[in-house]
Amino acid sequence: MSDKQAAPGAGLYPYPDPDMRLEGDVRAALKRALGLRDEDFDRISPEMRHLLGVRRHLGNTWLDDFEVVLEITSNGRCGCGVAPGQVVVFDMRHRVKPEKSTAPLCMHLLAPVLAIFYMTFDRAADGLNPVTSIWRFFDCLDTGEDLGREKARARVYLRTSDTHQPVMMRDLPPRAELDV
């Protein structure tokens, strides 16, 4: 079966929606952010249209409405000095927010979070919480001489930027519709 053939009973490109329209304020924002011209929108693949259409689910301000938090839950021997309760806060553009972070930056502990960021836009494009409920806990990659028994551990979650309340729901509405 070729890429463009679908299973019997399914239409061509059943997912994502090939008719995803990138219009209005979404189009204007994409033109500004990516330097696109009107004729460029005709060449965007259905998969990329779906991904860029995230704003239709979460609104135009979703990148500023939420933050990803890495919170240290335990540490027996980390040489970087992280302690339980400390946090590293990221904006939805995947940048560290130093003014809101309290933990020292350690690449061994931050590296596993990269996998979460690979999924955030794809999940948000489907109207889901950008941070999966499955992979929420991570270990530091530095196992040390004790084979990792006492290494630092952390949890990752989404929170609102304004109230700092965790958002632990699967289907994510625009910020204005949340009760937190």
By CB atoms closer than 10 A (0-12, 13-18, 19+), residue 34 is exposed
Query: What is the residue whose two structure tokens read 């994510």?
Result: 172
Largest CA distance in the chain: 58
Element (H, E) at 68: strand 66-74
Q: What strands, in cross-sheet order, belong to the sheet with 137-139? A: 87-91, 66-74, 153-160, 137-139
pLDDT-derived band at 145, boundaries 50, 70, 90: confident
The values of phi and psi at residue 99, to 5°, are: -70, -20
pLDDT digits (tens, 9 = 90+) for 83-103: 999 999 998 888 899 999 999
Question: For the whole prediction, is pTM greater than 0.95?
Answer: no
pLDDT digits (tens, 9 = 90+) for 49-62: 777 766 666 666 77
- Are 78 and 107 spatial neighbours (Cβ–Cβ below 8 Å)? no
What is the token pair recorded at 78? 């980390």
